[in-house]
């Protein structure tokens, strides 16, 4: 079931024409940068976009220029996990697993998920309840599973979040083509707090 939904949504995402995609990316970036939660945060985990994902490469340097601590993932294929590293310049990025840009400088840069206020997450599809359909590798699922035990009341107060909710704040970036009525989910799945598309901001 998930495989069929994933394949259908990725086909739809891949079929978005370049000019239309650029317009959608710009609208999503504007919504993200206009968020109160986003502007309050001091540190965030983002991703380097790959293939037809919502583009982030155009604003990673803007995040750094704004004084925020930018953390990016690197795939550890041997252990099938994502490791997190602080990036101080986009010039540090190097091609890694599957040709995805990753932090090239890692010595003394590894960061724990507990040090991050916001996580910006890609995915194949999402529903309005915040359920996420990944790419099947389980990398983000493993990373997000760490969130259950990490609660930071101080940061949540600063960001206007519910002190009892999991931290950090999870924001998915997606095109309207990736939003469906229902994504099959399990009780242990971590839901997104918010989904940003080119047309709307969905608080889950």
User: What is the tens place of the pLDDT at every residue in 52-109?
Assistant: 999 999 999 999 999 999 999 999 988 889 999 999 999 999 999 999 999 999 999 9
Domains and CATH numbers, the chain: 2-203 (3.40.50.10420)
Contact 30, 98 (CB under 8 A): no
Q: State residue 145's pLDDT score.
A: 83
Report yes or no on whether pTM surpasses 0.95: no
Q: What is the pLDDT of residues 133-192, one digit of tens each?
A: 999 888 998 898 877 655 444 445 555 555 545 478 999 999 999 999 999 988 778 899
- The reported pLDDT for the residue numbered 152 is 44
Q: For 4-22, what is each residue's pLDDT tens digit?
A: 999 999 999 999 999 999 9
Which residues are CB-neighbours of 87 under 8 A, at least 6 positions away? 60, 64, 70, 71, 72, 93, 103, 105, 109
Mean pLDDT score, 97-126: 95
């Amino acid at each position: 079931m998930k495989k069929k939904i994933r394949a259908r949504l990725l086909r739809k995402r891949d079929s978005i024409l370049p000019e239309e995609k650029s317009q959608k990316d710009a609208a999503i970036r504007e919504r993200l940068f206009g968020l109160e939660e986003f502007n309050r945060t001091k540190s965030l985990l983002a991703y380097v976009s790959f293939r037809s994902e919502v583009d982030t490469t155009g604003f990673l340097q803007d995040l750094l220029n704004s004084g925020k601590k930018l953390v990016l993932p690197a795939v550890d294929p041997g252990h099938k996990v994502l490791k997190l590293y602080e990036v101080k310049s986009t010039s540090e990025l190097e091609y890694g697993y599957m040709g995805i840009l990753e932090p090239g400088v890692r010595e003394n840069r590894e960061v724990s998920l507990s040090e991050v206020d916001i996580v910006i997450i890609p995915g194949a599809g999402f529903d309005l309840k915040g359920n996420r359909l990944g790419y099947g590798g389980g990398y983000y699922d493993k990373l997000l599973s760490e969130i259950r035990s990490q609660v930071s009341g101080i940061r949540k107060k600063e960001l206007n979040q519910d002190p009892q909710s999991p931290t950090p704040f999870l924001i998915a970036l997606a095109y309207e083509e990736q939003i469906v009525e229902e994504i099959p989910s399990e009780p242990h799945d971590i839901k997104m707090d918010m989904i940003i598309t080119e047309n709307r901001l969905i608080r889950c």
